[in-house]
Amino acid sequence: MSHQIITNPVLWSDVPDVCVIRVGSVFYMVSTSMHTMPGCPIMKSENLMNWEIVNYVFDTYEDNDAHQLLDGTGIYGKGSWAASLRCHGDTFYVCFSCLDTDQFYIYRTQDIENGTWERSVIPGLRHDPSMLFDDGRVFVIYGNGDIHITELTADATAIREDGIHQLLFETEREGIGLRCEGCHAYKLNGYYYLFFIEWPRTGNGRRRQLCYRSRNLLGPYTNRVVLDDDMGYRNQGIAQGGIVDTPAGEWYALLFQDHGAVGRVPCIMPVTWEDDWPVFGIDGKVPEQVEVRLPVASSIHPLVISDDFDYIRNTLALNWQWNHNPDNRLWSVTARPGYLRLTAGGLASSVLHARNTLTQRTEGPACSGMTRMDVMNMNPGDHAGIVALQHNFGTIGIIVANDGERYVTMTMQGGDGRDLVVDQESYKHGHICLRIEFDFEGPEDTARFSYSADGEAWRYIGPPLQLRYTLDHFMGCRIGLYQYATIQSGGFVDFDYFRYEKGRQLHLGETGDSE
């Protein structure tokens, strides 16, 4: 067996609320996706280091004005939260709650990598749930502070009316800022283990990982803190997640850390056992590097990719996700082969309310994304370009004035939900190259914006944008391609390609003040 060295974070990108299982020699992971569609990405790994997106649990899960960005608000910061992934028999299960619908969703498939998922919907929220299969019975354990248990039917499609439905226990109240949540439940070696996070006001005031243990499902439970560490990063505790074993019998935990504007990044640490209690990390710390006895990946598929949009069918790579539900009538990679065409449908007041913004994650410590865009078919009032997408967004693109004149423009969040034009210059060409460079390593998370008529000579426009992780989006910064109308629908743009580079790049022949 090979030995692999994993450097933390495992993925320096927004992959929060991770839940990992092993089936044979393969690991699978699900993560929160909130307002991005398709949702609940399923990732696969042979070694806990190299993760590939292989499927999504759903394309969309509801069809209403909020999910379609037609209500002026959307479901930013809501959507699917903290999904639980389990395999029982020959069936895979994913469950989660959604704040915007006040419902609990359970999805099932027998083919996690290629199959479609059958869904069941149960009214009411079950906050941060974890499924537990126990001697032919199925339970969901969930809650925030007050931890509840609900029994499901054997096929996990509905509530078992004559089953267990009760408060399991209450977690500590005194001195706590955020009581226990983020449950991950297991039955091992005759014990029930429930892992949670909490955020105490006392001590160092950061999040930490707790374990509750009992011989009996309904308790009583005893608990202890199993991890309280930030790896030296801004007192941001590494917590929330679960444990998984390898074929060799070694145990690891995958938890996440809030890491500024790039989002919540997963970290790995060894787990050992003392008196049937799990011991996380090494001497109570998360190591910068972890050695695992697992194979070299047979192939490596990056989390974020470049794309030439050269598709035979009207499909996209799994790395892409739409901001909210797409209008599938208004995008195409076959209308003009080798291009992504975005057509403006209904009118929008801001890029935050634009349908069919196509996004990928960003990655630390630094990265950049670039596209070439044909702007000849834009209408007066149209906006199109590339966006650093968070609540405090920034864009660089083309705006067509009422008289048909085109301007290359840098905008940012104007404070009233509208795009605030920060800088603009007249632009006469029919094609434009646009670029955003992200820096997530320094004391401030920033994005810089530049453009070029030929892809060779670049000019910065506008000041660097201060990126911020805020709870109204509850998501790390994304990079996206957008087109929307403010006056009349029907205009469109063709994106020739998307070029992505991880790390800082040396760009020559550039002009403009970037300070």
CA distance 336 to 495: 10
CA distance 250 to 233: 27
For residue 275, what pLDDT is reported?
97
Domain boundary at 292, 310, 337, which? Answer: 292
Question: Would you say residue 504 lies in a domain?
Answer: yes
Domain boundary at 273, 292, 311, which? Answer: 292
Do residue 24 and residue 80 come from a single domain? yes
CA distance 469 to 200: 21
Domain boundary at 275, 292, 309, which? Answer: 292
For residue 8, what pLDDT is reported?
98
For residue 39, what pLDDT is reported?
97
Closest CA to 495 of 234, 311, 349: 311
Question: Would you say residue 316 lies in a domain?
Answer: no
**Contact (Cβ atoms closer than 8 angstroms) between residue 43 and residue 53:** yes
For residue 399, what pLDDT is reported?
98
Question: Would you say residue 311 lies in a domain?
Answer: no
Question: Would you say residue 304 lies in a domain?
Answer: no
For residue 2, what pLDDT is reported?
78
Q: How many C-beta atoms surround the C-beta of residue 492 within 10 A?
A: 24
Do residue 260 and residue 383 come from a single domain? no
For residue 515, what pLDDT is reported?
38
Do residue 268 and residue 349 come from a single domain? no
- Backbone torsion region of residue 514, taken as left when φ is above 0, otherwise alpha when ψ lies between -120 and 50, otherwise beta: alpha
Do residue 201 and residue 341 come from a single domain? no
Number of domains composing the chain: 2
Domain that holds residue 340: 321-511
3-state SS string for 57-120: EECCCCCCCCCCCCCCCCCCCCCEEEEEEEEECCEEEEEEEECCCCEEEEEEECCCCCCCCEEE
Do residue 388 and residue 454 come from a single domain? yes
Q: Along the 515 residues of the chain, how does pLDDT read in single tens digits?
A: 678 999 999 999 999 999 999 999 999 999 999 999 999 999 999 999 999 999 999 999 999 999 999 998 999 999 999 999 999 999 999 999 998 999 999 999 999 999 999 999 999 999 999 999 999 999 999 999 999 999 999 999 999 999 999 999 999 887 788 899 999 999 999 999 999 999 998 889 999 999 999 999 999 999 999 999 999 999 999 999 999 999 999 999 999 999 999 999 999 999 999 999 999 999 999 999 999 999 999 999 999 999 999 999 999 999 999 999 999 999 999 999 999 999 999 999 999 999 999 999 999 999 999 999 999 999 999 999 999 999 999 999 999 999 999 999 999 998 776 789 999 999 999 999 999 999 998 778 999 999 999 999 999 999 999 999 999 999 999 999 999 999 999 999 999 999 999 988 756 556 665 33
Amino acid sitting at position 180: C
Domain holding 87: CATH number? 2.115.10.20
CA distance 492 to 332: 11
Do residue 287 and residue 326 come from a single domain? no
Do residue 245 and residue 376 come from a single domain? no
For residue 444, what pLDDT is reported?
82
CA distance 179 to 22: 29
Domain holding 384: CATH number? 2.60.120.200
Do residue 348 and residue 493 come from a single domain? yes
Question: Would you say residue 268 lies in a domain?
Answer: yes
Do residue 119 and residue 222 come from a single domain? yes
Q: What SS3 class is residue 260?
A: helix
Q: pTM score, two decimals?
A: 0.96
CA distance 43 to 40: 10
Do residue 286 and residue 325 come from a single domain? no
Question: Would you say residue 315 lies in a domain?
Answer: no
Do residue 266 and residue 397 come from a single domain? no
Question: Would you say residue 313 lies in a domain?
Answer: no
Q: How many C-beta atoms surround the C-beta of residue 433 within 10 A?
A: 21
Do residue 173 and residue 254 come from a single domain? yes
Question: Would you say residue 314 lies in a domain?
Answer: no
